[in-house]
Amino acid sequence: MSISVAVAGATGYAGSEILRLLLTHPAYQNGELTLGALCANSNAGQKVGEFHPHLAPLADRTFVETSLETLQGHDVVFMALPHGHSGALAHSLTTVAAASGHDAPLVIDCAADFRLRDAQAWEKWYQCEYQGSWAYGLPELPGHRDAVRAARTVAVPGCFPTGASLALYPAVQAGITDGNLSVVSFSGTSGAGKGAKVANLHAEVSGSAKAYNVAGRHRHTPEILQNMQELTEQELTVSFTPVLAPMTRGILTTAFATTHATLEEVQRLYEEAYRDEPFIQLLPYGQQPQSKSVVGSNNVQIAVDVDTAAHRLVITAVIDNLVKGTAGAAVQCMNLMLGWPETTGLYTVGLAP
């Protein structure tokens, strides 16, 4: 019996990337996984090939309406909807399934709806009703892999928090910083989604870089702080600066904190933390990560260094925002939830040049 998968929000970048990864997933290739409803909103009734010509095997499929009726009956539902749109629909799926005596589908949400554990923080940053929190889908953080395995609902992390959290976690957990964390992340334009925005036009972005939502105004700030604060009793602060960069995919994160640890101590700490992580590549000293090295892959490249004169820990990390930052993380969580090998269908090899 095959696993039936539905994708809500299938016309967007995250939805199309989930579909790309599922089409090459071994379970899809051998018939163990099938693609059910491919859901859209205003584009329901149109062909997949009109929006995603790169998804050739699905070109003749038709998008259907995003509704409780179209999503019911699937074993797994990926939600790639705008923030604030997943909560009520996910709760309805669970309620209807319980009333009918059937198991609710496994639901993997790529939006922010279930990431934050603090209701006040959610309402402050997203200005809509709090829907609760789910297992947080970053298996590389301590305890999260087991939580995802046991869960039936998972919240995929934000792309910026993924890079920042993986850059900082070993240092924060070990207590080698003063707790005042600074993060600067350069992101490609696909991180803003597929909706038309003047600021993302080629003429606006090409040959330029621009910081935005600075000084604690970006809504991924509380998510980064939540992830780090669970690792330590030390009171932390996070200053996060996102930068729009003239590239399509990728996030380059540089994280800073005051430290008196030596480079050798930091390198050893990160080697121990990530030794068994299949998607973390700790680079040798002197080699810096490049965003182009992880394009199309679920890989995270990390480099550590210490500015001894300034007593500053400097961690750099790169991810593909659409893969490890969204769709790859979602498929990684699906694998864990279904009891499949975590790496199934996910690449550690990037596209170059």
The token pair that represents 238 in the structure block? 């996070």
What pLDDT is attached to residue 191? 75
Catalytically annotated residue among 39, 110, 128, 159: 159
Measured between alpha carbons, how far is 239 from 174 in angstroms, rounded to an integer?
20
More confident position, 351 or 310: 310
* φ, ψ at 295 (rounded to 5°): -60, 130
pLDDT over 70, % of the chain:
98
With a pLDDT cut of 90, the percent of the chain lying above it is 80
Give me the pLDDT at residue 194, please: 67
Confidence category of residue 263, pLDDT binned at 50, 70, 90: very high
Q: Is the pLDDT of residue 198 over 80?
A: no
Do residues 152 and 77 lie in contact, with contact meaning Cβ atoms separated by under 8 Å? no
* pLDDT one-digit tens code per residue, 32-79: 999 999 999 888 889 999 999 999 999 999 999 999 999 999 999 999
**Cis peptide, bond prior to residue 57, ω within 30 of zero:** no
Is 106 a residue whose pLDDT tops 80? yes
Please name the residues in contact with 50: beta carbons below 8 A apart, sequence gap of 6 or more: none
Residue with tokens 């990728």: 250
Average pLDDT over residues 163-177: 97
The more confidently predicted of residues 194 and 323 is 323
Average pLDDT of 18-42? Answer: 96
pLDDT at 196: 58
Q: What is the mean pLDDT of the chain?
A: 93
pLDDT at residue 102 tops 80: no
pLDDT-derived band at 168 (thresholds 50, 70, 90) equals very high
Closest listed residue to residue 113, CA positions, set 260, 239, 8, 267: 8
Distance CA 7, CA 333 (A): 15
Distance of CA 292 to the CA centre of its chain: 18
The arithmetic mean of pLDDT across residues 95-112, rounded, is 86
pLDDT at 7 over 70: yes
pLDDT tens-digit map of 311-342:
999 999 999 999 999 999 999 999 999 999 99
Task: Render 222-250 in DSSP notation, one character per residue.
Answer: HHHHHHHHTT-SS--EEEEEEEE-SSSS-
Domains and CATH numbers, the chain: 3-156+326-338 (3.40.50.720), 160-319 (3.30.360.10)
- The pLDDT value recorded for residue 235 is 95
- Is residue 305 predicted with pLDDT exceeding 70? yes
Residue 96: the pLDDT is: 82
131 by DSSP, 3-state: which? coil
User: pLDDT: is 262 or 213 the higher one?
Assistant: 262
Entry pTM: 0.95
Q: What's the per-residue H, E or C state across 166-216?
A: HHHHHHHHHCCCCCEEEEEEEECHHHHCCCCCHHHCHHHHCCCCEECCCCC
User: What would the mean pLDDT of 126-153 be, rounded to a whole number?
Assistant: 95
Cα–Cα distance list, 96 to 38, 79, 91, 172, 178 (Å): 20, 17, 9, 42, 49
Question: 326 near 184, Cβ under 8 Å?
Answer: no
99 band by pLDDT with thresholds 50, 70 and 90 = confident
Q: What's the per-residue H, E or C state across 160-173?
A: HHHHHHHHHHHHHH
**Does the annotation mark 128 as catalytic?**
no
pLDDT grade for 306, boundaries at 50, 70 and 90: very high
CA dihedral over 176, 318, 280, 346, signed as positive or negative? positive
For residue 79, the model assigns a pLDDT of 96
**Span 165-190, average pLDDT:** 95
User: What distance in Å separates the CA atoms of residue 288 and residue 291, rounded to the nearest whole number?
Assistant: 10
Residue 280: closest CA among 174, 124, 127, 145? 145
